[in-house]
A and B are shown apart, each in its own frame.
Chain A
Amino acid sequence: MSVSREIYLDHAATTPLDPDVASAMASCAGGDPTYGNPSANHAAGRRARSAIEKARGQCAALINAEPREIVFTSGATEADNLAVIGGARFRAHRGRHIVTMASEHKAVLGAADTLEREGFLVTRLAPGSDGTLDPAKLEAALSADTQLVSIMAINNETGVRQDVAAIGRLCRERDILFHTDAAQAAGKEPLDVKAMPIDLLSMTAHKMYGPQGVGALYVSARHGVGVTPLFFGGAQERRVRPGTLPVAPIVGFGVAAELARLRLDQTKTHLSLLRERLWSGIADLPGVTRNGDPDRSFPGILNISTAEIEGESLMLALEPLVVGSGAACNAQSGEASAVLRSMGLSDLAAQGAVRFSFGRGTTMADVECAVSAYRAAVTHLRRLSVPRAGSG
């Protein structure tokens, strides 16, 4: 079977805009104009504010939060920065130690680097070879100085889930702020910030069929939780995140969050079937390995490495499949995935890894095409390749 059409299997990087979301956003400029500045007190401003508050409620409902606990941002990167830097600074008078993982998104790791330059102590825990963090390892890393722990809910490259509830309990017992980057999890997996328990949670609209350019940070109203702002110049978002709010993207985010909540179970079953079909179609290829614990990973992502296959050539050979070679944010640099290296993969194996990520619109026929394309690409590259001298 040759593949002649583009097949989008990079939903972990971004998802297509849902038509209902697009329609809601268009209505902001059309029949139900909400072009006023939501901070203004005139009628147009009030309409805009009302639309934003509805969206705030929809986003809050997705994670069982209160609407007042949602702070809109430009996306998950900003939300992560605000949570990690803002959270650590908020608690700096009590201690200057934070704990995170080496396999976190760069939005968290970069924020941790910034704190380190300010004199904070940062512990970056390595995951096991299956991508998971042993809560006992985290517990051992905590000290009286620890004020913030940031561990992502679902890894963006491998799909591996961390035991957020166990980590949350561990932190709550010690009154440590717990932040989770839920950019991949929100809208795809059940999240309950009260039950888990979570103090700070980042999410973004464009990974749940909403628009790019808008996200949110959940900041628990619990006593002792807070973030010091990174921006200045306005009273919006309770002064935590000043700046005029973009009404149409926020409205779109709200609709996307509501649709995601309603479709949660249905989507999960669909994704599981797709992932297992893809894996069963290529698992017999010599040298193919699955990265991350399949029993503890989100079904929308399958990350695989193939021995003796060069990553850049693999990406070209796979076209017209659209897949990820690690995080989209790393794709331009061509660097081997830091996430996979932190799990113990060699530079070469990490550089040759491919991430397939499925979405609501992915069909079984798409996956069959992906199986054919992957097998053909590996066969082609192995025909061209030469074993390393001395490897037999």
Chain B
Amino acid sequence: MASARYSELVQRRFREARHAGEIDREPGGFAAYVEEGGSGARIRLTAAADKATLRALRFQVFGCPHLIAAADLVCERLEGRPVKELAGFDCGALREELDAPLEKSGRFLLLQDALDALAVTLDAA
């Protein structure tokens, strides 16, 4: 079965993905989009934020189950947190927590890029 390749946490997040979707851009809405050429994986993050705090975060992903689970977890963990935590989020540690194989490192780097891009967008606003 395909599921043997994924931890329980990945499977649950993949199936439930409570933070999937998008937040209206206005008012106080921000978005960031990144994609990886080789695999075709792509992420769009949308956030509702005031000056210092991420009030809500949503993701849209075209990619593997690990990337979907990771994006869902990131959104959950950063909601209600200071905006400055976006850029400092450790996606490498998340890869280990999700027990994703090393060959998936590129997907987690892509997620890091998406968070960085969102931080830049918020910073510029």
Q: Across the interface, do A310 and B1 meet the contact criterion of CB distance under 8 Å? A: no
A312 to B41 Cα, complex, angstroms: 11
Q: Across the interface, do A313 and B63 meet the contact criterion of CB distance under 8 Å? A: yes
Q: Across the interface, do A388 and B42 meet the contact criterion of CB distance under 8 Å? A: yes
Q: Across the interface, do B62 and A316 meet the contact criterion of CB distance under 8 Å? A: no
Number of residues in B with C-beta < 8 Å to the partner?
A: 24
Quote the shortest CB–CB distance from A323 to chain B (angstroms).
9
A6 to B4 Cα, complex, angstroms: 14
Residues of B within 8 A of A318 (CB): 2
* B40 CB contact (under 8 Å) in A6, A317, A348, A383: A348
Interface size class on chain A is: 20 to 34
- B-facing residues in A281-301 (Cβ within 8 Å): none
Q: Across the interface, do B61 and A384 meet the contact criterion of CB distance under 8 Å? A: yes
Q: Across the interface, do B64 and A310 meet the contact criterion of CB distance under 8 Å? A: yes
Check A389 for interface membership: any CB of B closer than 8 A.
Answer: yes
Q: Across the interface, do B62 and A310 meet the contact criterion of CB distance under 8 Å? A: yes
Q: Across the interface, do B20 and A383 meet the contact criterion of CB distance under 8 Å? A: yes
Check B17 for interface membership: any CB of A closer than 8 A.
Answer: yes
Quote the shortest CB–CB distance from B57 to chain A (angstroms).
15
Check A163 for interface membership: any CB of B closer than 8 A.
Answer: no
A317 to B2 Cα, complex, angstroms: 9
Q: Across the interface, do A316 and B20 meet the contact criterion of CB distance under 8 Å? A: no
Q: Across the interface, do A313 and B42 meet the contact criterion of CB distance under 8 Å? A: no
The residue in B2, B3, B15, B64 that gathers the most chain A C-beta atoms within 10 A of its C-beta is B2
In the complex formed, the residue of A with least CB distance to B62 is A385
- B-facing residues in A160-185 (Cβ within 8 Å): none
Check B60 for interface membership: any CB of A closer than 8 A.
Answer: yes
Q: Across the interface, do A316 and B3 meet the contact criterion of CB distance under 8 Å? A: yes
Check B6 for interface membership: any CB of A closer than 8 A.
Answer: yes
Check B35 for interface membership: any CB of A closer than 8 A.
Answer: yes
Check A315 for interface membership: any CB of B closer than 8 A.
Answer: yes
- A-facing residues in B37-83 (Cβ within 8 Å): 40-44, 60-65, 68
A383 to B15 Cα, complex, angstroms: 11
Q: Across the interface, do A386 and B2 meet the contact criterion of CB distance under 8 Å? A: no
Check A13 for interface membership: any CB of B closer than 8 A.
Answer: no
Q: Across the interface, do B33 and A316 meet the contact criterion of CB distance under 8 Å? A: no
Check B30 for interface membership: any CB of A closer than 8 A.
Answer: no
5 contacts between A and B (CB under 8 A): A310-B62, A318-B2, A386-B42, A386-B61, A389-B35
Interface residues of B (CB under 8 A from A): 1-3, 6, 11, 14-15, 17, 20-21, 33, 35, 40-44, 60-65, 68
Please name the 4 residue pairs, one residue from A and one from B, whose CB atoms are nearest each other, closest first. Answer: A386-B60, A315-B2, A386-B44, A312-B64
Extra contacts, 14 of them, besides A6-B1, A388-B35, A388-B42 (Cβ < 8 A), are A312-B2, A312-B65, A313-B65, A316-B2, A316-B14, A316-B65, A317-B14, A319-B3, A348-B40, A384-B60, A385-B60, A385-B62, A386-B42, A386-B43
